[in-house]
Amino acid sequence: YIDDVTEPVGLLHLAPGYCDTACGKIINVDLDAVRRADGVITVLTAQDIKGVNDCSPAAGDDLILAEDEVIFHGQVIFAVVATTRSAARRAAKLANIEVAPETPSVTIAQARKTGETVLPSYQFRRGDVRPVIKASEHATTGNISIGGQEHFYLEGQVAMAMPQEGGGMHVLSSTQHPSEVQHCIARMLDVDEAEVVCQVRRMGGAFGGKESQAAQWAALAALAASKTGRPAKIRLDRDDDMIMTGKRHDFMIDYQAGFDNKGKLTAIRSDLFARCGCSADLSLGVNDRAMFHADNAYFYPSLEITSHRLKTNTVSNTAFRGFGGPQGMVFAERLMDEIACRLRLDPLDVRKRNLYGKGRDITPYNMQITDNIAPAVMRTLEKSASYRSRRKAIKKFNRENTILKKGIALTPVKFGISFTLIHLNQAGALVHVYTDGSVQINHGGTEMGQGLYSKVAGVVANEFGLAADKVKITATTTDKVPNSAPTAASAGSDLNGMAARNACHTIKKRLAGLAAKSFNCKVGQIEFAGGNVTGPNGSLPFAELAKLAFLERISLSSTGYYATPKISWDREGAKGTPFFYFSYGAATLQIKVFQHRVPLGFGGPACWANVRTAKGKA
């Protein structure tokens, strides 16, 4: 982790400075007392930025340092650069900032009244839902509020920048997207991207909170290093981290639905209102994915799903595990439960009747479902979890108890795998084979505790037929694999694993040709396994073949590249194949509650999970 790296001589430390106002014009910023404080070397303001004052992922609406106004509580106005972290933090409290306060818009309800948005509304539509709902045997209208969530990664936002010769900058950043950090710093310093190297060995958790949000802190460290000519580091205090960085988008969803006597949907209409915060950040993708997953695993014959991306005077919300998908799924599952309650049916039966199936296989975004295993997964779990007998026992328990109540649910999930911003579905890798038979790999994916490095190393070991300890993964860095996509969207293993595999194939093809020549056989007869390279007429240890390849002047290094095939997305037409495949799963949960809705615990054995990919592998 960055905080474990030995600090270089002359390292400076940063602390961000802000005011307590949530919204208003900046009248005056008096930093004299800050500059006079013990240990302070300099104070950074927007005037120190030679290039572009922006750390947004795309929209150009996120200032690294505020200029003329404050648009959310905690917005960074200046940064103290001092000899110690404690001195920097103490000095940051001495600023005298005068702001003409304005009435902020903070909640979804307030934003709906102002009508301000960070992005235009967007809609999926099939048929005319209103007459269908009106003609249905049953109809319901309601709304649901879904709260936000703090990432609370164990390692907070942190970066260290070290100036290089010729104006270059080497930056260690706790980020899911090192290329974006590189590009941001290059724009800010007004230098070529090739002058900036961003490296990340690992993160102590991220959960989406370091996909775009890490760029600002790395940029401040680089700005300090550029201005002073000394290495600089910033590690946010946990309170500042929670104040200054985005969260999961909270939603309010208004909906209408029509359904028949068996609980089968005829039409749905939903408006998804998301509190995006003060800027766009990643709200386009987050809200689009909420729409992509507003069906979860269910077919909507007629539909109208509209997303509203609301602007508020709060820190810009950002990526978070599921990237909007969970919010959309919560709506779908709430609807299933409401229908079951209205008709006094088992919610599992209602869910099963509404699943995708033959002749009912087109999503709200006009993609045909061809890999649907949700019904099979649910049937398997229903049986293995003894759902029916447990539900029967729970009914008996609830009749006999007035204070304690039990409940059980079994729900599916269908999650699309791919970035819906199509150009992000690519990855690169660099593989070196050394003459002792050891292998080194670098790729554009980042490790945040999910095991990506180990997975890709396993792919490489398998390709060469080597033990895992023969493969060394090096820190992700932009000077080895450029222009990488973020590690997100549950696609990191697929993308980077395939890129590494393709690099291995290139090297294997060269080695197989040499081995075939040595063994006097065809290339197709060569096998890599057990640390050896074997043909019908002989065998060599992999290390010996690598050494022989060097002597024969055969390259033992290769780049690898992978772009996800068969995906497309026409956003304007709301049609295409945005996902390469779906991951399916189901879970059942049993709980015990007090009548006043205070959870008392889980009745055991309470939870089973059966998760399968589209290919049906557990």
Cβ pair 177, 422 in contact under 8 A = no
Q: Is the pLDDT of residue 617 over 90?
A: no
> So what's the pLDDT on residue 90?
98
Say whether both 525 and 605 belong to one domain. no
The pLDDT > 90 percentage for the chain reads 95
Same domain, 547 and 457: yes
Verify that 375 and 416 share a domain, yes or no. yes
In a domain, 401, yes or no: yes
Rounded CA-CA distance 312/508 in Å is: 55
Q: Which amino acid is at 258?
A: G
Please tell me the total count of domains within the chain: 2
Please answer whether residues 471 and 461 qualify as being in contact, where contact means their C-beta atoms are separated by less than 8 angstroms: yes
**pLDDT of 312 higher than 80:** yes
Residue 616 lies in a domain: yes
Token code pair at residue 375: 């019904």
Domain for residue 442, yes or no? yes
Which residues, 6 or more positions from 402, have their beta carbon under 8 angstroms from its beta carbon?
595
Instruction: Examine the domain organization and report whether 410 and 509 are in the same domain.
Output: no
Q: Is residue 403 part of a domain?
A: yes
Q: Is residue 165 part of a domain?
A: no
451 and 387 within one domain: no
Average pLDDT over residues 215-241: 98
Residue 545 lies in a domain: yes
pLDDT at residue 613 in the model: 44
Residue 405 dihedral angles phi and psi, to the nearest 5°: -135, 150
Structural domain includes residue 318 = no
Tell me what pLDDT residue 272 has.
Answer: 98
Q: Model confidence at 604, in pLDDT bands (50, 70, 90)?
A: very low
Inform me whether the pLDDT recorded for 606 exceeds 80.
no
Tell me the mean pLDDT in the region 92-116: 97
- How far apart (Å, rounded) are the C-alpha atoms in residues 296 and 274? 18
Q: Find the mean pLDDT for residues 109-121.
A: 98
pLDDT computed for residue 595 by the predictor: 76
Alpha helices, DSSP H, located in 310-386: 325-343, 347-354, 374-384
Flag whether pLDDT at 476 surpasses 60: yes
Do 491 and 551 lie in a common domain? Answer: yes
Supply the pTM of this predicted model. 0.94
Q: Are 300 and 258 in contact (CB under 8 A)?
A: no
How confident is the model over 538-565, as a mean pLDDT? 98
Q: Based on the domain organization, do 586 and 558 belong to the same domain? A: no
Euclidean distance between CA atoms 189 and 203, whole angstroms: 25
Q: How is 546-604 classified by DSSP, letter by letter?
A: HHHHHHTT---EEEEEEE--S-EEETTTTEEE--SEEEEEEEEEEEEEETTS-EEEEEE
CATH (domain of 605): 3.30.365.10
Q: What is the mean pLDDT of residues 232-241?
A: 97
- How far apart CA 278 and CA 311 sit, in angstroms, is 6
Is residue 467 located within the same domain as residue 548?
Answer: yes
Over 80: is that where the pLDDT of 615 sits? no
Q: Are residues 442 and 419 in the same domain?
A: no
Res. 603 pLDDT band, cuts 50 70 90: low
Choose the weakest-confidence range: 290-294, 304-308, 614-618.
614-618
- Burial of 565-579, coded b for 16+ CB within 10 Å and e otherwise, reads eebebeeeebebbbb
Inter-CA distances, 204 with 137, 209, 282, 291, 299, Å: 53, 11, 22, 30, 39
> Rounded to the nearest 10 degrees, what angle do helices 492-519 and 542-551 cross at?
70
* Digit-coded pLDDT (tens) for 54-73: 999 999 999 999 999 999 99
Check whether 240 has a pLDDT greater than 80: yes
- Residue 52 domain-assigned? no
Report phi then psi at 332, rounded to 5.
-60, -45
Q: At what angle do helices 387-400 and 374-384 cross, to 10 degrees?
A: 60
Per residue, the 3-state secondary structure of 148-201, as one string, reads CECCCCCCCCEEEEEECHHHCEEEEECCCCHHHHHHHHHHHHCCCHHHEEEEEC
Q: Are residues 414 and 435 in the same domain?
A: no
| Residues 430 and 380 both lie in one domain | no
User: Is the predicted pLDDT of residue 597 greater than 60, yes or no?
Assistant: no
Alpha-carbon Rg for the chain in angstroms: 28
Q: What is the pLDDT of residues 39-57, one digit of tens each?
A: 999 999 999 999 999 999 9
pLDDT band at residue 594 using 50, 70 and 90 as cut-offs: confident
At residue 355, does pLDDT exceed 60?
A: yes
618 and 491 within one domain: no
Summarised one tens digit per residue, pLDDT across range 503-525 is 999 999 999 999 999 999 999 99
Q: What angle do CA 193, 196, 197 make, to 5 degrees?
A: 120
Task: Give the structural domain span for 437.
Answer: 426-563
- Pair of tokens at residue 600: 């008392």
Identity of residue 201: R
DSSP string, 525-556: G-EEETTEEEETTEEEEHHHHHHHHHHTT---
Mean pLDDT within 387-416: 96
